Structures are given as C-alpha cells and as structure tokens.
C-alpha cells in the first residue's frame, strides 16, 4: 500500500509539473487610453527617443508614462543605479493602471536587476513587457514565471518608423490580443525542413547564454518541455557564436529542442572559415545530425531595420518546408471574440 501511495504521489507530481510547464498567463490586452510605462532597465538612452516614443504612443491613443529614472545619464553607462532601475520596474508592475511596460533600449545591465525584482509581485500582476536585446534577461524571467512577453521594438523603432511599419503593426496587434498570430516567410538555402510545436523561448543569444545554469536558463529546456528556441545577436564574431552553439550541443540542450528559429545576426564580418553566420550555424547543425528538427533561417527579428515581434513564453507551431516557413504564435491562446 505504501509503495502504491508513493507511486501515486510521483504520478501526480509529474502531472502537476507538466501542467505548470504548459500553463501560460497572457496579460490583459491594451485598449485606447491604456497606460504604458516606459522604463530603462539597462543602458541610458537619448531623450529624443523617449520623446519620440511618447509621441508615437499618444498618437495611437495610449497614455505613456516615463518612469522617473528612464531619462537618466548619471551612472556610468546606465540610466541609473541598479536599485533605481529595478525600482522603476517594480513600480510599473505594481501600478494597477499600467497595462504594458515598454523597455527604452537594451545595451547592458538588465541581468544585474534580476535578484532585485520581486517575482511574486510580478507573477501576481502580469502585464505586457516589450523589448529585445539585453531585455532578454527579463523575458527569461517572465517565461519562467509563466507570463507571455513580447520580443519586439523599443523606443528608437517607435521614434524612427511610421505607424504603418510592419514590425509595429504586428507588435500592437499582439498587445491588443490579436492572437494567435502567424508569420509566413520565404524559404532559404539553409532551412531544415520539418514541423514542431513547443514553448517559444529565447532572444539575444549571448544574454541568454549568460543565464546558463541559473533558474532562468531558457536555452536548456526541461526534459519533455520541447521548446522552440529563437536566437539572434549583434556585433559578435562568428567564432563567438560558434562557441555558444558548441556548448548547447555538447550539454545536450539542443537535443531537447523541438525546433530552432534563427533570427538576424548583424554587424559582423565573414571569417576565414565561414562566409556568414547562417553558413556556420547550418554547417554545425547538419554535421551534428539535427536534420529532422525544423530550423527556420532568416526570421526578420533582432537588431536590423525590420524587427518582427515574437510572443515568448507561449506555445507556437513551426512548419519549415521547400515552399517556405509558417510560424504561428499563441496556439494555446484562444482568439477573443
């Protein structure tokens, strides 16, 4: 009887863990008049981009509020001290009127805030978080808390682009709860064909790699989680990205993934070994035998002029074939009537 009870407990625990992995909280949609907080969790940003984002949000009918330390430039390369940047984030999460948090820019410094954030408060007050690059550290936290977030444009993009910009149109569609959202992309010579479903995770590769062996290690899916991993980066040498891929392969993390999405790798030079980042990634994936896993190359997300938003933390389906690729995000989120 005792043995049966222990087995039953193990089964229930396993089912509970699986359910926790499958559950996702989608923040409430923004509406005309919604309050959107602008925060600077990392490097400082020029006022013109803060001002431009405020004007762009107001033109769309929202109420932007610039957090007290978002305009700072008095603490080295950061917008403010670590405690003050963390405090801005927590004030935004606690504010019941705030529906979305727009990160001003990336740079570096977000990872320094993770230990200062009250995750219990964030989990109890889920709201949209938008940003990319160094903001990947916050996306990793949100994913582990079971809250969907948006890897997408920040203040500079809002300032420079028209309201009709495709990346912005998709971003506000997500914020307004137009889910699921589907992208159809042309084929590339590097694609690996196949189909997959899983939790969409990832972001900036070097930032995510820096979270290895922490509770926010999103590049190493739990057994059975079957994530679809998205990666992008800027200004990294080809061998540096290769080094991270080697670690992911040799640690077994890549083998746990259901699919890969290769975003934009920008501002780098060809090496003596590879003409492009894509050629290097494709070479090793094929050499290691990941040919049955769908790999989408050429996702226009990252540090380029085009930055399609991605719904991180939610389930997604990926189909890669000779005619192109189809990525549908939010497959576990029923569309609102």
pLDDT of residue 2: 37
Q: Distance from CA of residue 106 to its chain's centroid?
A: 13
- Give the orientation angle of helix 238-250 with respect to helix 277-288, to 10 degrees: 20
Q: Supply the DSSP symbol for 217.
A: -
Sign of the dihedral through C-alpha 96, 102, 105, 108: positive
Q: What is the pLDDT along the chain (337 residues), one digit of tens a residue?
A: 434 333 333 333 333 333 334 589 999 999 999 999 999 999 999 999 999 999 999 999 999 999 999 998 778 899 999 999 999 999 999 999 999 999 999 999 999 999 999 999 999 999 999 999 999 999 999 999 999 999 999 999 999 999 999 999 999 999 998 899 999 999 999 999 999 999 999 999 999 999 999 999 999 988 778 899 999 999 999 999 999 999 999 999 999 999 999 999 999 999 999 999 999 999 999 999 999 999 999 999 999 999 999 999 999 999 999 999 999 999 887 655 4
- Return the residue matching tokens 């230990």: 115
Residue-level pLDDT at 56: 98
- State the burial class of residue 25 (Cβ atoms within 10 Å of its Cβ: 0-12, 13-18, 19+): middle
Per the structure block, which two tokens stand in for 148? 């969907």
Please give the C-alpha separations between residue 329 and each of 9, 34, 109, in angstroms, as whole numbers. 34, 24, 29
**What pLDDT is stored for residue 5 in this prediction?**
37
**What was the pLDDT predicted at 336?**
55
Looking at residue 23, its pLDDT comes to 80
The DSSP secondary structure of 109-137, one letter per residue, reads -GGGGGGGS-HHHHHHS--EEEE-GGGHH
List of domains in the chain:
35-178 (3.40.50.10740), 182-329 (3.50.30.60)
Which H/E stretch holds residue 172?
helix 166-175
Q: Output the six-digit token pair for 163.
A: 């309201």
């Amino acid at each position: 009887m005792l043995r049966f009870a222990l087995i039953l407990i193990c089964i229930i625990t396993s089912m509970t863990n699986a359910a926790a992995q499958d559950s996702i909280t989608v923040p409430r949609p923004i509406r005309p008049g919604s309050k959107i907080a602008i925060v600077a969790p990392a490097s400082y940003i020029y006022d013109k981009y803060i001002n431009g984002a405020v004007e762009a949000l107001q033109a769309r009918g929202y109420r932007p509020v610039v957090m007290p330390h978002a305009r700072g430039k008095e603490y080295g390369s950061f917008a403010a001290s670590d405690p003050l940047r963390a405090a801005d984030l927590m004030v935004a999460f606690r504010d019941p009127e705030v529906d979305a948090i727009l990160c001003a820019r990336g740079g570096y410094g977000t990872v320094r805030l993770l230990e200062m954030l009250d995750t219990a408060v964030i989990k109890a007050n889920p709201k949209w978080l938008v940003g990319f690059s160094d903001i990947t550290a916050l996306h990793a936290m949100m994913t582990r808390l079971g809250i969907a977030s948006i890897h997408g444009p920040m203040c500079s993009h809002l300032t420079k682009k028209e309201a009709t910009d495709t990346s912005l149109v998709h971003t506000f569609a997500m914020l307004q709860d137009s889910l699921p959202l589907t992208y159809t992309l042309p084929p590339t010579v590097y694609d690996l064909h196949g189909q997959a479903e899983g939790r969409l995770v990832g972001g900036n590769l070097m930032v995510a790699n820096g979270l290895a062996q922490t509770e926010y290690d999103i590049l190493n899916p739990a057994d059975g989680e079957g994530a679809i991993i998205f990666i992008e980066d800027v200004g990294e040498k080809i061998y540096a990205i290769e080094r991270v891929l080697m670690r992911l392969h040799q640690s077994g993390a890549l083998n746990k993934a259901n699919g890969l999405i290769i975003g934009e790798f920008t501002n780098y030079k060809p090496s003596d070994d590879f003409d492009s980042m894509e050629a290097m990634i494709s070479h090793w994936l094929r050499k290691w035998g990941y040919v049955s896993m769908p790999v989408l190359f050429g996702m226009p997300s990252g540090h380029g002029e085009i930055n399609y938003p991605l719904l991180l933390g939610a389930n997604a389906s990926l189909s890669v074939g000779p005619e192109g690729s189809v990525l549908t995000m939010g497959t576990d989120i029923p569309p609102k009537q």
